[in-house]
Amino acid sequence: MSIIKSFAVGYGDMFYINHNSDNFTIIDCFLGDDNFEDILAEVKRRSKAKGITRFISSHPDNDHLRGLVKLDDKIQIRNFYCVKNKAIKEHQTDDFDRYCELRDSEKAFYIYKGCRRKWMNQGDEERGIAGISVLWPDVNNADFKEALADAEAGGSPNNMSAVIQYSLENGATVVWFGDLHKEFMEKIEEELDLPLAHIVFAPHHGRRTGRIPKSMLDKMKVKIVVIGEAATEHLDYYSGYNTITQNSAGDIVFCCDGSKVHIFTSKEYEVDYLDDEGMTFGDMNYIGTLNL
């Protein structure tokens, strides 16, 4: 069984995948003053049993890298995945400085559309694959080049975000969009090789500015959209689609078991589109099972 966890961290993003192979993946980082010790302890405990731990940075904005110094000091990141860039900030933080240090080090692996990497998506006799693919960026795309140039001039790095896919053989497919903006996704849609996806994490923490275009959602035949923790007045609730809203649900755990995804939340939460198979996961609230 593979476990995906989306932490409720406020206006930021942090996820991990505890793979059903000798892999552990962290996607983005946001550690607040009141929760970092528990999250770090959990990540350390889960990753310790794995031979490969990788950190994937979707893009270098504070709400996706806050606490990176604490995380790196705790687990000593050895495999740092990011889009190749020279982004700068007008107001630099210790966490952004650590991002730049890792980005420019021998620990960095630069991700791009279709990239291949041992154990990320290439297995061998030593270790199975993590099932991770990179759907974006196309480094030759003019719109991406413009977004990259903006970030390297001190502008917003949102539209240089990577699009990450995680798939299990004969199981769930999950997609992360970083903080891509709606207008940018509309520009690049025809160049995105979109998979059939069971679960997607809405870009830009669920804000209307990051609304995934309906044409993309329909191409992917999305079963569940996870809406992040942006302020309520800025959220797009994806009317017409099955959703989980992290503001109300708290931490969310997806237990991927073959053709089933058992879903749990740290807060009491109810939906009417999942099957009840009476599952448990520690003291978390079971909201149902998605049968693929």
Q: Which pLDDT score is estimated for 268?
A: 98
> How large is the average pLDDT for residues 10-37?
94
Based on the structure, what is the number of domains in the chain? 1
Mean pLDDT across the chain:
97
Nearest to 30 by CA among 95, 107, 109: 95
Q: Which pLDDT score is estimated for 233?
A: 95
| Type of residue numbered 72 | D
**Is 109 buried (19+), middle (13-18) or exposed (0-12) by CB count in 10 A?**
middle
Q: CA-CA distance, 198 to 175, in Å (whole number)?
A: 8
> Could you give the angle at the alpha carbon of 22 between the alpha carbons of 278 and 164, nearest 5°?
80
| Type of residue numbered 255 | C
User: Residue 271: is its pLDDT beyond 90?
Assistant: yes
Nearest to 250 by CA among 49, 25, 38, 2: 38
Nearest to 156 by CA among 261, 64, 26, 44: 64
Q: Give residues with Cβ within 8 angstroms of 218, minimum separation 6.
A: none
> How large is the average pLDDT for residues 67-80?
98
Q: CA-CA distance, 119 to 127, in Å (whole number)?
A: 7
User: Residue 125: is its pLDDT beyond 90?
Assistant: no
Confidence of residue 34 (pLDDT cuts 50, 70, 90): confident
User: Residue 33: is its pLDDT beyond 90?
Assistant: no
CATH number of the CATH domain containing 217: 3.60.15.10
Contact 86, 58 (CB under 8 A): no
Q: CA-CA distance, 72 to 64, in Å (whole number)?
A: 14
Number of C-beta neighbours around residue 135 at 10 A: 19
Q: CA-CA distance, 35 to 24, in Å (whole number)?
A: 21
Q: CA-CA distance, 204 to 27, in Å (whole number)?
A: 14
> How large is the average pLDDT for residues 258-270?
98
Q: CA-CA distance, 219 to 215, in Å (whole number)?
A: 6
11 or 140: which leads in pLDDT: 140
- Radius of gyration for the alpha carbons in the chain, expressed in angstroms and rounded: 18
Give the three-state DSSP class for 115: coil
User: Residue 123: is its pLDDT beyond 90?
Assistant: no
Q: Which pLDDT score is estimated for 200?
A: 98
Contact 119, 81 (CB under 8 A): no
Q: Which pLDDT score is estimated for 48?
A: 94
User: Which residue range(s) make up the domain with 260?
Assistant: 2-291
Token pair for residue 255? Answer: 């237990």
**Is 119 buried (19+), middle (13-18) or exposed (0-12) by CB count in 10 A?**
buried
Token pair for residue 41? Answer: 């302890």
Q: Which pLDDT score is estimated for 126?
A: 85
Token pair for residue 230? Answer: 């942006």
Q: CA-CA distance, 68 to 180, in Å (whole number)?
A: 21
User: Residue 64: is its pLDDT beyond 90?
Assistant: yes
Q: CA-CA distance, 270 to 140, in Å (whole number)?
A: 44
